Structure 1
């Protein structure tokens, strides 16, 4: 059955402490964690509807995703491996951390270099919108960056669950549009890769 389903690999990148794990766990399980133990393993599944199509999102090993996510900041080889396999990226920075904003711009540049493309499915996410009084990155600055690079921008709060679902689902929509443009499905082809419908999206 799995061979009949389309799979999307979503990769969440960003500097340490920006809330990558908090956003993902809030999206999958609908609760906020301020501290996450990367030694804990579990299996997460979320059923949602994207563009009117039922979509199943699976994360089979959050601890592996969390550790890999940390490696994205530290290990060049591991970082490029995940960038090569990813079909869409959430670029996460913290609105109260200028360094994380500069770091996520470097991730954007590296993703395009690894993919050898001028554009690719990405959503820039300014997390910690609940800390408005501590904000150091203006919405205007972030929007200027995303306009220049033709990617989508959203502000979110993993703590308040603000724009959490919207960020992930926006990325799925962008990936679908991108893949349809890149390789439109043949009119009469029964390949599992082209079948539309339920699709498990793997969060790496």
Structure 2
């Protein structure tokens, strides 16, 4: 059975933990405390009629965790680069996380770019087109998600697992 470790990378507050919790039914918690360590998350999934095991590492977005983040990147085979549609600064930080992956990974990293919190359209600071353009520049798939409503969260993980299987 395939086993994959996936690291969620992005600025603080973009919804990494909530995305991870959506992999597990009925675990979404609107009272999340970012100071508590809740990962890694583990689960068996069926992707394209084939069972696999996924471990999701919920990295912290703060610079206080840079050394830990480097270790988490070394452990992972796949990555989800995440920013919030409601935060221009989180979008601007994506390149930093991409460069960090490139610096640490032995081979070309396998990743998807995720624009989270699409349920907050009224607070949008980053257009879908900007996200799509950045994904093209980085050479990866682009997905808009809502960790709160679970929109496209399964698709995000399934597509990343498919990419990992092809690598």
TM-score (norm 1): 0.72
Alignment correspondent of 1:79: 69
CA RMSD in angstroms, aligned pairs only:
2.3
Alignment correspondent of 2:160: 171
Q: Which has the higher contact order (CA 8 A, sep 6+)?
A: 1
Counterpart pick for 1:140 among 126, 129, 142: 129
How far residue 83 of structure 1 moved from its aligned partner, in angstroms, is 1.3
Which range is displaced more, 44-53 or 95-104?
44-53
Q: Measure the CA separation in 2 of the matches of 1:105 and 1:173.
A: 24
Q: Secondary structure at the match of 1:29?
A: coil
Counterpart pick for 1:57 among 54, 58, 61: 54
- Evaluate the alpha carbon distance shift between residue 57 and residue 86 of structure 1 in structure 2; reply closer, same or farther with a 3 A threshold: closer
* Pair 1:97-2:87 in alignment: yes
How far residue 34 of structure 1 moved from its aligned partner, in angstroms, is 2.1
Higher strand fraction: Structure 1 or Structure 2?
2
Which runs of no fewer than 5 residues in structure 1 stay unpaired?
A: 60-64, 179-204
* Pair 1:36-2:14 in alignment: no
Alignment correspondent of 1:130: 119
Q: Secondary structure at the match of 1:46?
A: strand
Which runs of no fewer than 5 residues in structure 2 stay unpaired?
A: none
Alignment correspondent of 2:17: 21
Counterpart pick for 2:109 among 97, 120, 126: 120
- The count of aligned residue pairs is 166
Q: Secondary structure at the match of 1:25?
A: helix
Return the index of the structure with the highest Cα Rg.
1
1:110-139 CA deviation, whole Å, 9 max, x = no partner?
Answer: 10121255x421011100000011111111
- Evaluate the alpha carbon distance shift between residue 153 and residue 73 of structure 1 in structure 2; reply closer, same or farther with a 3 A threshold: farther
TM-score (norm 2): 0.87
Q: Secondary structure at the match of 2:130?
A: helix
* Pair 1:150-2:139 in alignment: yes
